[in-house]
Amino acid sequence: MSRVVFLDERCKGCLLCTTVCPKGIIVQSSRFNRQGYKVAEVPADAMKDCTGCASCALICPDVAIRVIKSRKAKKAGKE
């Protein structure tokens, strides 16, 4: 199991992360942060598809994404 955490106050809604997710699970939410940016998210029901590949975090210019992997998933080399 892998999951991603979006730091809403760091996100600027540029949507670059949505273009690189191999699972296509990142979307623009309907939430605005305090700076007025409409932030990105992975809807709760789609999170199970996250592979923990970290492509989204790598392309995010604002370091707004954290990627968390379970050790088991990592050892198995997939998920």
Partner 1 sequence: MQADERLALADDEQMAFEVPDVLVDRATHYCPGCHHGIAHRLVAEVLEEMGVVDDTICVASIGCSVFIYNYLAVDSVEAPHGRAPAVATGVKRGRTDKIVFTYQGDGDLASIGLAEVMHAANRGERITIVFVNNTVYGMTGGQMAPTTLIGQKTTTCPGGRCRDREGMPIRMAEIIAGLGGVAYSARASLDSVKNIRAAKKAVRKAFDVQQQGLGFGFVELLSGCPTNWRMDAVKANTRIREEMIPYFPLGVYKDVTEGEGVC
Q: Given the rule CB under 6 A, which residues bind ligand SF4?
A: 4, 6, 11-17, 20-23, 25-26, 40, 42, 50-56, 60, 62, 64-65, 67
> In the stretch 44-73, what mask flags binding to partner 1 with x, by CB under 8 A?
--------x-xx-xxxxxxx-xxxxxxxx-
User: What are the tokens at 24?
Assistant: 């296509």
To the nearest whole angstrom, how small is the minimum distance from the Cβ of residue 57 to ligand SF4? 7
CB atoms within 10 A of CB 10: 15
**What is the C-alpha separation between 77 and 49, in angstroms, rounded?**
15
Tokens 């995010």 found at: 60
Kindly tell me which of 6 and 75 has the beta carbon lying closer to ligand SF4: 6
